[in-house]
Each structure stands twice: as C-alpha cells, then as structure tokens.
Structure 1
C-alpha cells in the first residue's frame, strides 16, 4: 500500500531543490544596474546599435574607392576598412562608427574626411526569452528594448515564475556577463527597467516547489495520495 506519508520525502526533496538558485553568483540590486543600466530617458531609444553580421553601407565624400554599398560586420563584430584596417563596429551607432572612421582616415592623409554609415540589413537585433514565460522564443527588437517590453513579447510570465529571479545574460567585449533583476519591483516602479540589447538572453526563474505542487494536482488520478494503490 502507498500512503500519503510516502509522498512526504518527495516533497521535501523538491522543497530543497526549490531553494537552489542558479543566479547565486550574479550581481543584484544596485550592483546589477552597474553592469546593465536602465535606458537613459534623455537618450533616443531609436539610436540603433550595429550588431554582428549586420550589413552596412559606408560612403566617404569624394572618395569613391572608399565607398561601399554593402560591407558586412564579421562574426567578431569588426569591419576591415581600406587604409585603416580592422575597426570595431558592433555595439556602436552608425554615427559613432562614422566618427571613428573619420578619425582613422584623417590619420591617413585624407583631409577632413566626411563619412556616412547606414545599416542596409540587420542580422543581430534579437533577444532570447526563456524560462518561466508563456511563449519562450527569439524576438526581434528595434535597436534596444527594456526588460518589461521583452517579457511582454513572450506573453508574460507563468504562474510558477520567480519574479525576483530574472536573469539577463550578455556578452561584452567577448566576456559573458549576467545580472539578476526583480521584475515585480520594476512593475511597481520601485526599480528602474533595465535596457535590453540585441543578443541578450533573458531567463525567468522557475519555482520548483510551486511547479511540483501544480504537477501533483494535474496528475491527481495517477498520484492519489488518499487511496492505496
């Protein structure tokens, strides 16, 4: 016979598992915002930041040999430009890259170079939203987004989500970084809404104990603890 008392050890183990936090080593609170700050309200959200494998157009005034209708950013985030060599492009706005190219060309005997950079095709402005959300997946963003907006794209969190365990993962200068945010505090206006960039990965925590109880209730015909098997 199987009684309710045989279920207790299982629930106890699940309770212990529910205490495990994969985000234990990531910064929280103010330290999290130091790593991944909120969007600057004074800045324009439409400032597109170039991503890996984006296709650019680069025009240098009165220099046809230095003008390209299409030039792709490589997997390392750089472009190889004549007279200058390798130039970091990923993470910069088109205007910022234009200014960097002008400075580089100015050192190569081109007087007062005028450079215009455009984005022909975007390849990297996507974020991954996974974990305890209604519709996990890959979502496109226009330049940048916010954590609340990104969660909304995934149709919100599930009933077993841990709202103070929302992890944002990002690669900065080739180095993986992570930070933990409190989604409930952000919703209530008690904490800033961090900026989300193309290439970010968002993981919403899952309460194992809540999930276990939910699964037990859904599987009641199979795990009926009030009757002998």
Structure 2
C-alpha cells in the first residue's frame, strides 16, 4: 500500500461534484430527512415530518407530497400551491431541513456512543461529528483520529489530532455524509492499524501526527 504525505493544513478530498454542492441552496431532500413545515399564523398546520423511504411526506389537508429529489424551495412552493388550491388564501409556507438523515457519519473506536448518526447539516466539522458520539472515552487518544472517505470508489484515510484542532493549531476539517471516523485508544495503536486496513485503502494521507 502506497502512502502519500500531505502538509498539516491539507484538507480531505471532495467526494464528487454533487457532494461539493451539498450545503448550497440547491440541496436535494432525501429519504429520512426530518423537515419542519410552518404555515404562517396557522399553528394547526405546523408539522415536523420525516421523509419516508419512498421519498414522501404527509401533511394535514393536502395529504401525500413527494419530497425527495426536490430542493427546499421547490417543496415549499409546492406545499403553498396545494394549500392555496382549495383551503387557504395566499398561504405563507416556510420549510427547512431540521435533520439531514440521508447524510450520515459513522463513529467507531474510543467514543462513548459509537454507531451511525444522522447529520444536523450537510457538512459538519470533525469536532462536531465527534460530539455526536457524546465525546471521547477516558482511554481515548485524541491525537490519533482517522477519517475514512470514499472518493470515486477509492477509500482514503486522513489522520488528525483533535488536541491540535481544539488549540487552533490545525484547521477543523469538514466531515460529509458517509465518512467513517475512528478514534484510537491510548494503548491501541494495533487496533488503529487494523482499522485502516479493514478496506482496500489505496492512498493514505498523514495530515498530522504528534504522539
């Protein structure tokens, strides 16, 4: 396996062109996203609804609406149009994505709660991602944190030092959906090595190391 050494201020690679667009106004709603729908001055119509696995939501009076694949503005306009069609005059509908459940990050290793977590935004920082696991365990080694990202079918690993990030000595990298984060144990270098070898990793960036 060939390794490439990048400077300490290097960034994780962008997954693809569509991922680069995430977080912009044209974000497309996906299955399991949690949406907040507000109709101005009509509290009975306000709802938090989760997009089902077929990409639909259900709202009072207007029933089922296809949500997945639409931008928030497109869906907001469609809901307003359907309410105006039969029930309301000039409804003012506000919609935002409260939970980007279609974008998930996986936490493993020395965190208090490991697993797959929905992201509260299409992009979060590494420190924010670690907080989803309720923080580090007492045996964690914050200087040895790996982020695995799949780029065009190729798994890539970057290594970070959380203490350096917290002290402002290193930028807090952006984490995107489907990233896998592993926090090493203080005495678990062997497990860290095994983790980075779980998949056929073709390139490795050592972004920061200060053990």
The TM tier, using the shorter chain, reads 0.3 to 0.5
TM-score (norm 1): 0.44
Instruction: Give the number of the structure whose alpha-carbon radius of gyration is greater.
Output: 1
More helix, by proportion: 1
- TM-score by structure 2 length? 0.47
Structure number with the higher strand fraction is 2
